A and B are shown apart, each in its own frame.
Chain A
Amino acid sequence: MNNEPQNGMECSEFEALLAEALDDLGADTSPAFEAHGRSCKVCGPMWEEAREGMLMVRGLAELEPPKNLVHNILAATSRKEATAEQIAEEAKLGWMDRLSRSLKPGIGGLMHSRFAMSFAMAFFSLSITLTLAGVKVTDVKNMAEHPSLLQKNVVLGFTNVEAKVTSYYENLRLVYQVQAKVRELKKNTAPAEGSGSENRQQNRKSAPEDGGRPRPNEEYSLERDGSLIAQTFTWHEGARI
């Protein structure tokens, strides 16, 4: 590019004015600018090329956006908003709810009538079993909401069962001890009551249908609280009356 002024204008000045001159082609440009463009062998072609390029670009037709573009944008922005709301909503859910939601798509095909009946049967069986086992639904719910209580509940349940079994066998032992004591007392008191001949005669009268068969002596004992009755039969071999 020539730095020497031609027709009162340098090439750098011409280039600086070129863009604005092209933007307003119909406007009157300065005589110096036009004279420089006519005479300068560098700036003249530059003017022509820039003008041609500008006209070509400006001749490009404005394109019509795809018809679904607006719809897609609206859908995308709505989805963003919905996603934010879903995240806030899911944050409030418990882990059971999230698990059931995640399982829904997978078990959707299983929710037919035949499967539903099978599930219902299984549910009733399970609920009956749990009821018989002494498990309450409220316990399960509490456990579901607070998984940390699971271990505590299991230990507590085991302790309760163990206490019941221990108590049962303790009671049973007491019963046997009482029975043994009663038998011992009876044996000790029998000779003093006349060898028990009167009792034997009463027993014989009350059971004439025995046909003279040997009959066992019957002893009864009651547990201390009366809830458990233990009945024992002691056979005295050869105690024929």
Chain B
Amino acid sequence: MRLYNRRIYNLCYRFTNSPDDAQDLTQDVFIRVYRTMGSYNLEKGAFTTWLTTLTRNLLVDHFRRSKQDRVTDSIDAGLREEDDSLSLGDRLEDPRPTPDDRLASKETQKMVQMALARISPDLREAVILRDLQDMDYREIATVLRVPEGTVKSRINRGRMELARLLSRNKRQASNE
């Protein structure tokens, strides 16, 4: 339990954006694990995948129960920056501060978390499982019960939507 509680807590927190909900859900996950441990079959998949599937089911239940406002911006909202002048190779060698550098501040972390909470749940869970939980596409497909192609598509769209939201927030912050 000590091995996985950090992982489950982070997954719950990134999805719910609430420390209290994350704590309660982590607790629920382990109680569920305690009850249904007998149903785990090693041949069907890794324990991490089984545990993540169980967590995801609880998160979905919680999401449906809470009925919180889910403000999801459309991908086609026209927020794309008109910065097409640089080619892909030039952008990869862009000397400007990278997103890694910008994340140095706590405020940026908070903004990313807020943006993550605002994208649609389908995209959010795919991005979290890939970029934060470091699961491969096949495992994510098992957890989400969708084909791998759909997983990749959701991850791409989630990442793009996240970048647009952050870009818009950054613009608004600079205008103020």
CB distance from A51 to the nearest CB of B (A): 8
A and B contact pairs by CB, cutoff 8 A, 7 listed: A19-B130, A19-B156, A48-B163, A55-B99, A59-B99, A60-B112, A74-B1
Q: A45-B84, A57-B116, A58-B131 are in contact. Are A16 and B152 (CB under 8 A)?
A: yes
Instruction: State which of B1, B88, B152 has its C-beta within 8 Å of the C-beta of A38.
Output: B88
Interface size range of chain A in the complex:
35 or more
User: Does any Cβ of A come within 8 Å of B15's Cβ?
Assistant: no
Chain A residues with a Cβ under 8 A of chain B: 15-16, 18-20, 22-23, 34, 37-38, 41, 44-66, 69-70, 72-74, 76-77, 80
Task: Let me know if B30 is at the binding interface, CB within 8 A.
Answer: yes
Q: Are B99 and A34 in touch, CB under 8 angstroms?
A: no
Residue ranges of B at the interface with A (Cβ–Cβ < 8 Å) = 1-2, 5-6, 9-10, 13-14, 19, 23, 26-27, 30-31, 34-35, 80-81, 83-84, 87-89, 91, 98-100, 102-103, 109, 112-113, 115-116, 127-128, 130-132, 137, 149, 152-153, 155-156, 158-164, 166-167
Residues of chain B within 8 A of A74, CB atoms compared: 1
Task: Using known A-B contacts A48-B91, A49-B160, determine if residue A70 contacts B109 with beta carbons closer than 8 Å.
Answer: no
Are the CB atoms of A65 and B26 closer together than 8 Å?
yes
Distance between Cα atoms of A55 and B163 in the complex (Å): 9
Residue with the highest number of chain A CB atoms closer than 10 Å, among B2, B35, B99, B159:
B159
Residues on A with beta carbons closer than 8 Å to the beta carbon of B160: 46, 49-50, 53
Contact of B9 among A55, A61, A63 (CB under 8 A): A63
Q: How far is the CB of B24 from the nearest CB of chain A, in Å? A: 9
Alpha-carbon distance A66/B8, docked complex (angstroms): 12
B158 cross-chain contacts in A, Cβ below 8 A: 53
- Most chain A CB within a 10 A radius of its CB, from B81, B100, B156, B161: B156
Q: Which of B81, B83, B91, B100 has the most CB of A within 10 A?
A: B91
Residues B23 and A34 in contact, CB atoms below 8 Å apart: no
Instruction: Enumerate chain B residues within 8 angstroms of A62, measured Cβ to Cβ.
Output: 6, 10
Complex Cα gap A38–B159 (Å): 20
Assess the A19–B34 pair: CB atoms within 8 A: no
Contacts of A65 in B (CB 8 A): 5-6, 9-10, 23, 26
